[in-house]
Amino acid sequence: MQKYRSWLAPVVLALTLLGLGTSLAQNDTLVIGTGAEITTLDPRIATDVPSFERIAVIMEPLVVFSRDLDLEPRLATSWEFAEDGSSLTFTLRDDVTFHDGSPFTSADVKHTFEWVLDPENGAQNRPLYEDIGSIDTPDEHTVVFNLDNLNSFLLNNIARMPIVPDGSGDDFGDNPVGTGPYMFDSLVRDDRLTVKAYENYWGGAPSIETLVFRPIPEDGTRLLAFEAGEIDVMQAQPVPAELPRIEEDERFVVDRSGGTGYTYVGMNVNSEPLNDVRVRQAISYLLPREAIVERIMNGIGQPGINMLSPEMAWFDSSTEGYSYDPERARELFAEAGVAEGTRIRLHTNENPVRMQLAEILEFELSQLGIELAVTIEEFGAFLERVQTTDDFDLFILGWSGQLDPDRAMIRQFTTDGSANYTKYSNPRVDELLNQGRLVDPTSQESLDLYFEAQAIVLEEAPYAYAFYTEEIALMHPYVGGWSVHPYGAATYQNAHLITKNQ
Amino acid sequence: MSATSVRAAAAATPQEPRARNSTWRKLLRNRNVVVGSVLILLLVLTAAVAPWITPMDPLRQNIWESYTAPQGFFVDGAFNTQYVLGADELGRDLLSRLIMGTRVSLLVALIATAISLAGGVILGAIAGYVGGLVDNVIMRVMDVLLALPGILLAIAIVATFGPSIVNVMLAIAVVRIPAMARVVRSEVLALREEEFVEASRALGISPMRILFRHILLNAWAPALVIATLGMGTAIVAEASLSFLGLGTQPPQISWGRMLSVGREAIRSAPHVTLYPGLAITFTVLGFSLLGDGLRDVFDRRLADT
Amino acid sequence: MLQYIAQRIYSLVFILLGVSLIVFAMVHFAPGDPIRIMLGDDAEPQEVERLNQLYGFDQPAHIQYTRWLTRAVQGDLGQSIRQRVPVTELITERLGATVELAIASLLVAILIGVPLGVISAVRRNTWVDFGSMIAALVGVSAPNFWIGLILLANVALHVGWIPLFGRGPAFTEAITAAVTQGNFSLLWDSLRYLLLPAITLGTSIMALITRLTRASLLEVLGRDYVRTARAKGLIGWLVVYKHALRNALLPVVTIIGVQFGSLLGGSIVVEAVFAWPGVGRLIINSISQRDLPIVQGSVLMLAAVFALVNLLVDISYSFFNPRIRYA
């Protein structure tokens, strides 16, 4: 027990003596504390990171993202696009068995994607794969995806879909079976998900017998449970305010990795006065990004520049983005004819950091005589407002899992984009982003297309970028063989390598 | 609070001046009433002069000063006004925000209670006095509302109509109307049979007049007790809604929001939650003590023992 | 008696009907399209439409309501949109946790609240009386979530055997194991996990119990037979215990039913703080995901539990105290 002084000290001491002899340490079980509960263990209908990160210990996709965000073989040993781009062929491993002992074959791959593509099944992820026209299985270890449209980034989407056994029905999520290092054992919703080591895992038997995922929604409680040693690994982001204290504490290990997302202020380009590009730029100049990252996020993440993260090959490193410059903002407001006393609305949800951002922007604008009416809405209502109505000016949201420029831009900034909440529209950007899908992602042409697109969008400022996220995990020093992954859903894809030596 | 435990009856009608004096004396002799009143008077006073006594601008942010520790009133022997109780997550002065927050917190409680009082008195009085089918319908609807956990009803109201200070007040009020209506109804039922009401009826005074002039005038004591206790509940309710992200909105400063936002840093910067938490606790304590005291004084049964 | 029970059951049905109507209306007029929120950013209009048809959300409200109600009466609360699991399953696996927490909180409130009330009454109008009332009031005055976090950060973190989150073995199972197999470790585990959540939730209704104990004890102490007993020279505490307390506690029993409802409500916040896997967390999660069948089903279920507890309390009360008339 650490040194402890408080008015409660006598109580604590008495209680401690009362419970002597109750101990919890176990080397064959690793307890992982997380923020949110899963919605389902069926990857075909899951949409959220908490579900996918836990599915990833039970099931595996054909290819996975490495920590450098390169594609690595997993259930597939190699893959190849046809010369004309009309098909994509995977060669599969031949030494893989599912937890029930049956061999993994091309039929399982075919089943997984066909189930997702069948509109009758209502799989939420269908749009990710709709460029796949049909699937052929020439032999047990070869799969051919015949493509209706060329999409250079389809591989990234395939990396998001773990394979389920052929014949899996609607109730697969109740008792999921996969090829991964751990077998599903039990799920008590909102309490714990237990998985057991799969001794015949093709990548080698896991060293820890049991993994337990515990969802703890309250940030403070989760951190305290970690400090008390009740959870071994805490992977959902810790409270920024507490991070410096944890980092200084020798009893804990803080593991960090650049993230794949960012938080931004979106602006409805149709609404007065945000339809004036100068007003949007002015707002971009009003975010004190350095101070936010330094003090609000306590060093988690980096000041936001644009919609691509600096680690991405397509990020134009000559871009500087908007600095914090209230004077420049004042000039721009004046040029645009925005009078003092103008009222702009801002909506966001009850996420602590977003609320703080809202308050910061409210204060900065008030210094320029502009009133920002902030509304913190419950998440469902907020999302509906932004996604389906035109009834908002500014909003604060974030993107995650932005692994390639297509994912990061085409839905957000093309005129008909499914996530174009700001109603931003520029024919040149549409053209560039659609063209980007058709060219080889490793070519100079691809870089040129996305360099031009990001420069235009940055200039026209439908978003003001606040900060890039960073993935952070806390663990006790006795946990080894594991580190946090920039792509949240892939955090536990190598769970069999984790060790515990307490 | 419970409707059942308030079985107080108003002091006898019409009151003699001497009786009134003795009520005052009873009030002043009651420890709960005195302590509670002092606490609340202090708060009301703070709220009244709030803008003039804040040592710093409660809205002024300085992110680089976030979570500054409390500096106290004296620094190096000199009187200090900078971050006396420390700074919050955006580097705003906690003491100044606490002082300004008195206004919002009291206002929310006051208006929510006023609405529930008005709604409860009207519904309860009509139900009790008219009786029959009307009584049945009103009270069954109240039963339905009582069957839903209060906070859940409030969440639903705020989630449906959107979070704003007005909707928060409404939500808290609606939750409390049924209890209020029940108490008023039982008072009215009891008073309806009293001699002076029968007499008024015999004199041909209109029912509305009887209800409002005679009956309600005598049912105010239990209503006052419930309302006082309700002020406290409303302040806690606002904090709970804030915890769920459905409380008052920035830049309004409410204690509930300060407490719920500050809880993120409960270990590294405990002062950010400690002071709003204490402010809420003492305020609610004040209202509870006052309410309890008032009940002691106005409850005839207890007064007799 | 039977007639009284029949009448109560009749009004219970009415109340639940009313609750179902209110819940349905709130859920349906709240902003937030469940399908859109589920499909997220990539939602295609035809997909939204198709799923809306699948779940019947395209039907007029009154048809949706009658259909839901008819099925609910038959014990079918529909299927979760997100998790694709029957709602009844989701609720029943959590209801035990919530009820367990509510009962434990009630016990905490009684165990602390009644003695405080007795002390208060016996030492009426002294500083002891005042101090006891303050002690009882602190719990209701400070917001639950704050008390919970303070207990976690200042007590549980340093004590070692008090868990910081979650629920141990179900109490019913633990007590069964203790009685049938003499295995007390499960019981100990169960209680360890219950301790802090129950204290946090329990203190929120403690004041009421203390207040009521004090008031009714004062009344009983003023009655003739107690005065006689005192006059006969019986020692004060014995009088209180033997003659007064039993009668004084009857009114306390009556409010248990009402308080149970506020405990069920308070559990929403406490469950979030302590990661207690109960219905409250289910409701909060499903509200933000707009999983309407879960929201409707679980609120209705909570109201039903609450109404049943009230009924049971009232009936048992009438057994304890046959003087009550059923009007």
Distance CA A246, CA A107 (A): 48
Give the model's pLDDT for residue A8: 65
Instruction: Give bridge partners of residue A196 from the DSSP assignment.
Output: A183, A210
Selecting from B162, B243, B302 the residue whose C-beta is nearest the C-beta of C145 gives B243
Flag whether pLDDT at C324 surpasses 50. Answer: no
Given a cut of 70, the residues of chain B with pLDDT beneath it are 1-21, 299-305
Give the model's pLDDT for residue B5: 38
Q: Which two tokens stand for residue A321?
A: 């983005």
Cα Rg for chain B, rounded, in angstroms? 22
Distance CA C89, CA C104 (A): 24
* B284: contact with C, CB 8 A cutoff: yes
- For C45-85, the pLDDT digits (tens) are 677 777 777 777 878 888 888 888 888 888 888 888 877 78
Distance CA B244, CA C284 (A): 9
Mean pLDDT of chain A: 90
Q: Which residue of B has its CA nearest to A239?
A: B264
A390, with CB counted inside 10 A (0-12, 13-18, 19+), is: exposed
A499 min Cα distance to partner chain B (Å): 30
Selecting from B163, B261, B266 the residue whose C-beta is nearest the C-beta of A352 gives B261
Q: Buried b / exposed e across C15-32, counting CB within 10 Å, b at 16+? A: bbebbbebbbebbeebbb
Give the model's pLDDT for residue C235: 60
B98 min Cα distance to partner chain A (Å): 17
pLDDT in 10s for each residue of chain A, 502 residues: 344 555 666 666 666 666 554 445 567 999 999 988 888 899 998 878 889 999 999 999 999 999 888 899 999 999 998 888 889 999 999 999 999 999 999 999 999 999 999 988 877 778 789 899 999 999 999 999 999 988 888 999 999 999 999 999 888 988 999 999 999 999 988 899 999 999 999 999 999 999 999 999 888 999 999 999 999 999 877 788 888 889 999 999 999 888 889 999 999 999 989 999 999 999 999 999 999 999 888 888 999 999 998 888 899 999 889 999 999 999 999 999 998 899 999 999 878 889 899 999 999 999 999 999 998 887 777 888 888 888 999 999 999 888 889 989 998 999 988 889 999 999 999 999 999 988 888 899 999 999 999 999 999 999 999 999 988 999 999 999 998 888 888 999 999 999 998 7
A200 neighbors C104 (Cβ within 8 angstroms) = no
Selecting from B64, B90, B245 the residue whose C-beta is nearest the C-beta of A350 gives B245
- For B9-39, the pLDDT digits (tens) are 333 344 445 556 677 888 888 888 999 999 9
Give the model's pLDDT for residue A421: 92
Flag whether pLDDT at C204 surpasses 70. Answer: yes
The pair phi, psi for residue A100, each rounded to 5°, is -85, 5
Flag whether pLDDT at C314 surpasses 80. Answer: no
- Residue C42 to residue A4, Cβ atoms within 8 A: no
C280-285: average pLDDT: 86
C257 neighbors C314 (Cβ within 8 angstroms) = yes
- Residue A241 to residue B264, Cβ atoms within 8 A: yes
Task: Scan residues 178-217 of A and list those with Cβ closer than 8 Å to C.
Answer: 188-192, 214-217
Distance CA A164, CA A55 (A): 11
Selecting from B150, B263, B282 the residue whose C-beta is nearest the C-beta of C265 gives B150
What is the pairing mode between strands A210-215 and A192-197?
Answer: antiparallel
Beta carbons within 10 angstroms of residue C321's beta carbon: 13
Nearest alpha carbon to residue C145 among A353, A11, B276, B252: B276
- For C190-202, the pLDDT digits (tens) are 999 999 999 999 9
Nearest alpha carbon to residue B104 among B246, B224, B280, B273: B280
Distance CA B147, CA C69 (A): 18
- Give, as one character, the DSSP assignment of residue A374: E
**Which value does ipTM take for this structure?**
0.85
Q: Which two tokens stand for residue A264?
A: 């931004």
* B63: contact with A, CB 8 A cutoff: yes
Mean pLDDT of chain C: 83
Give the model's pLDDT for residue A3: 45
Distance CA C200, CA C145 (A): 8
Q: Which residues of A touch B271 (CB under 8 A)?
A: none
Selecting from C23, C207, C218 the residue whose C-beta is nearest the C-beta of B288 gives C207
Greater model confidence, B150 or C237: B150
- Give, as one character, the DSSP assignment of residue B263: G
- Residue B250 to residue A220, Cβ atoms within 8 A: no
- For B128-139, the pLDDT digits (tens) are 888 889 998 998
Give the model's pLDDT for residue A212: 95
- The DSSP line for B199-230 is HHHHTT--HHHIIIIIIHHHSHHHHHHHHHHH
Enclosing H/E stretch for B126: helix B94-130
Give the model's pLDDT for residue B8: 38
pTM of the full structure: 0.87
Greater model confidence, A43 or C247: A43
Task: Scan residues 169-228 of B and list those with Cβ closer than 8 Å to C.
Answer: none
For chains A and B, CB pairs below 8 A equal 87
A365 neighbors A282 (Cβ within 8 angstroms) = no
Instruction: Give bridge partners of residue A247 from the DSSP assignment.
Output: none
Q: Buried b / exposed e across A305-331, counting CB within 10 Å, b at 16+? A: bbbbbeebebbbeeeeebebeeebbbe
**C-alpha A32: how far from its chain's center?**
18
Greater model confidence, C318 or C63: C63
- For C73-83, the pLDDT digits (tens) are 888 888 888 77
Q: Which residue of A has its CA nearest to B59?
A: A363
* B32: contact with C, CB 8 A cutoff: yes
C80 neighbors C87 (Cβ within 8 angstroms) = yes
Q: Which residue of B has its CA nearest to A381?
A: B159
- Residue C255 to residue B4, Cβ atoms within 8 A: yes
Give the model's pLDDT for residue C320: 61
A343 neighbors A373 (Cβ within 8 angstroms) = yes
- Residue C143 to residue B141, Cβ atoms within 8 A: no
Selecting from A245, A288, A377 the residue whose C-beta is nearest the C-beta of B63 gives A288
